[in-house]
Structure 1
């Protein structure tokens, strides 16, 4: 991913733009997540507060907005569309939205990734967003049923019709992404430009397959929940009854959504290490956690969201400082993911058995070793 800056002087992180994947699409390092736009889910921001957050992000130089068709029952898209239209920003911002989830209970074709649903879903998003086209259109979640051939052909048709410009896959198995990209290359379809996946100090499993997949194929990696649903912000504490604190993580505690299942002994140890590092460098915990994610190998853009202005301010300041190497190592050690089969075979000690102990500069070997990966953001 290439970096495009406005000039040669030192400027704020949002005023540096990055080419997403192999596209010519120039986006901010930090994308504004709008899942919190609307109070329909019992948490989030009412319209006036959401508008203030949107304006602050735009005024700081941000241009990358992320939403989805069913975020806050469609109100997130409606707000984004209205805010963009009011400020006449359509050609200045990059809008990403998603399809997959079912908004019509009882209708088996009201969700999923079939051609029927995609064609219906895109029309709804275009209407709510008050736009003629969507910059980046994501399959939201793999449905276990629809073949990638059907998905890629349908999305390619929408590109040809001018309704979407670029294609993304979110929350899919790595084999599915790889298969979809191979189909696109073989048949001359619009390729996958971006993956959108969960990534944080708490959730690092994408390092095992998705990061090397993106590096090998040129697919950008856009990450969500870099603060682990707020766990890494410092506002929650463990208790005998669960989690103490106010916010989405507490509201969603006990739900069936594994994305909010963060109350584990391992995760609280990571929070403790993060708190120590944040105190050492005198930065907010949220800023440190975001800085660490944004500067990991292969990461193209990081989605940040907020319900309060001070949260957004901390988020947007996350790239204005460096974390010393020894403290980065402390965070890596505390959060290192387990390496089950077959990934344990790709770590340095096992790989050395293939080379007779000789050091070989073979690119794939670095994918699996957290030690050998440099803290180098994508495209730098």
Structure 2
């Protein structure tokens, strides 16, 4: 496992984090605890959850694991999130001081900890003034309830506005952004990655396997079946599956990943994860396993180093298909060089 600083902070985290959205839903408590043990045993030290994951059950499962394993809390960097509905009342949602005060205290209680190392706003709140949210986060850092804060699913302008307002007021600055990012979802490179680089934030990509597409589970024009998320529960997103299946770009990318995996004697998942982990600004990639077998396969990416030729091949075939001003082909080429550190 490789270790990196958590964005522009001095805290050290492994370059693969354990996402726990499956805990209490697709993974029962026993399986979840085994996944935690195996992840930490492999050298991972970064655990990510959220209050809304299984209506708080994910945090509770992690909390009971901490309680049953002396020293575990000190050994890991713990991240959680708040913003989405946790009740039926008007103030049970959002990033207002009122909601976040209760949401943070509830997360601390469920996790059984005195401090959450990284507390993230799960999404932008169009109602609450961002100054109110930032002041709450500043106060939470100052009080010791959280160590750092970050954002998730923010757009480029939202991220930049928040950073500059925090700096202007002399408040604590964010350290990370958690966006969706994979070989099939690279549009964040148009605005969000440059904004994160400009602000010195570390990226924590979620869904790096694009919902299982990059693991090689799905076959062209074959409806999902068997032990896959869509096979077991088609209601989770068959409309999106149909759209992605009909897009030739999808299969160009999936094919390139499969070719490299076969040539290297590794899994497709490991190739796709290694590519994301090596992208500019990426601090740690979230692994979302439902089973211990999935986790073991994903952790194999930690030992995989892609060659420059393999990286170039994957990057070229997965280039976002944006063809209008100001995101045409020439602009994309210039932006790619800038992100990669060129001129």
Q: Is the 8 A contact 1:236 1:245 kept in 2?
A: no
Task: Describe the shift of the 1:263–1:99 C-alpha distance in structure 2 as closer, same or farther (beyond 3 A).
Answer: farther
| Greater per-residue helix proportion | 2
Cα deviation 1:279-314 (Å, max 9, x = unaligned): 111110000110111011221110012122221112
Detail structure 1 runs of 4+ shifted over 6 Å in the superposition.
256-261
Q: Please name the residue that 1:295 is paired with.
A: 278
Mapping 1:182-331, distance limit 5 Å: 182-239=164-221, 242-251=223-232, 253-255=234-236, 262-265=244-247, 266-331=249-314
CA RMSD of superposed structures (Å): 2.3
Task: Tell me, yes or no, if structure 1 residue 25 matches structure 2 residue 6.
Answer: no
| Greater per-residue strand proportion | 1
Q: Is the 8 A contact 1:171 1:196 kept in 2?
A: yes
Q: Find the aligned partners of 1:311 and 1:99 in 2 and give their Cα distance.
A: 27
Q: Is the 8 A contact 1:115 1:150 kept in 2?
A: yes
Q: Is the 8 A contact 1:229 1:249 kept in 2?
A: no
Q: CA deviation at 1:343?
A: 2.7
Q: CA deviation at 1:139?
A: 0.3
Cα deviation 1:97-130 (Å, max 9, x = unaligned): 001111223x222111111111110011001000
Task: Describe the shift of the 1:191–1:198 C-alpha distance in structure 2 as closer, same or farther (beyond 3 A).
Answer: same
Secondary structure at 1:97's aligned position in 2?
Answer: strand
5+ residue gaps, structure 2: none
5+ residue gaps, structure 1: 1-12, 350-364, 376-380
Q: Find the aligned partners of 1:104 and 1:212 in 2 and give their Cα distance.
A: 36
Q: CA deviation at 1:60?
A: 1.5
Secondary structure at 1:293's aligned position in 2?
Answer: helix
Q: Taking structure 2 as the reference length, what is the TM-score of the superposition?
A: 0.91
Q: Is the 8 A contact 1:238 1:244 kept in 2?
A: no
Q: Please name the residue that 2:336 is paired with.
A: 369
Q: Find the aligned partners of 2:31 and 2:129 in 1 and give their Cα distance.
A: 41
Q: Find the aligned partners of 1:373 and 1:216 in 2 and give their Cα distance.
A: 14
Q: Please name the residue that 1:355 is paired with.
A: none
Q: Find the aligned partners of 2:164 and 2:329 in 1 and give their Cα distance.
A: 26
* Number of residue pairs aligned between Structure 1 and Structure 2: 338
Q: Please name the residue that 2:100 is paired with.
A: 118
